[in-house]
Amino acid sequence: MKSITRALKEWNTAVNALEQGQTIVLLRKGGIRDRGGHFNVADKQVLLYPTFEHQQPDLLKPEFASEVKTVASGWHPETIRIGSWAEITDNFLVAWEPAIAGLFPYHIWNDKFISDRLKWKPNQPICILLLRVYRLAEVSEIPYISEYGGCRSWIDLAAPISLERSEPVLSDREYIKRSTEIRTIIANG
C-alpha cells in the first residue's frame, strides 16, 4: 500500500482550486522558515495541506477572493482536511515578468500578487509548479499539531496517508493539454 507523510502547505483557496481542476499552477518564492529562505521542491509526490493564516483576498482574482475568510495571525483549525495529493510534474524558475504575465489565465492570483512576489527578494525568481492533482479515496481529518505551524512550505505529517485508489482531478488528455500550453508560454517568454 502506497502512503506518504510529506505535505506541501498552500493557501486553502489554492488547494480548493487545484482539487476542483480550476488550476494546475502554483507560484512560490518560499516561506520565511524554508531552508535559506528559498523555495525548493523537496519531493515530487506530496499531500496538499491547506493553510488559512496568510490568505489575502486582495491578491486573488475576484472569483477566488470571495472564498477567503480572513483569520488572525497564528489561527489554524483544530483539524486539517487532507483531501488530495499531487505529483509535481514541472518546476520552472522564472524572473521575467512578461513570461509570468503570460500565465495569468492559468492560475488564481491577480496582478498585484505577481508584482508583490517579484519585488520581494527581487534577485530570486518565482518557482512555477505544475501539479497533477489526485483526490484521495478517503478524505483524512488530521489533528493540528504545533509542528505544522510556521511560515514554511514543507512539513511531514505525524501519520502517513494512503494514496491507494486515488483518482486524478483532470483526465490525462486535459492535463497534457494544459501543461503543454503552460510550458510553451514559459519557453517563449
User: 127: which strand partners?
Assistant: 28, 93
Predicted local confidence at residue 152, as pLDDT: 80
* Cell, residue 126: 518565482
SS3 label, residue 161: strand
Q: Residue 119: give the domain boundaries.
A: 3-188
For β-strands 25-28 and 79-94, DSSP reports them as unpaired
The DSSP element (H or E) to which 172 belongs, if any, is: helix 172-188
- CATH, residue 63: 2.30.130.30
pLDDT tens digit at each of 189 positions of the chain: 599 999 999 999 999 999 999 999 999 886 555 555 567 787 899 999 999 988 889 999 999 998 888 888 888 899 999 999 999 999 998 887 888 889 999 999 999 988 888 888 778 888 899 999 999 999 999 999 999 988 888 999 999 999 999 999 999 999 999 999 999 999 887
Tell me how many domains the chain contains.
1
Residue 122 exposed, middle or buried by CB count within 10 Å (0-12, 13-18, 19+): exposed
pTM metric for this prediction: 0.92
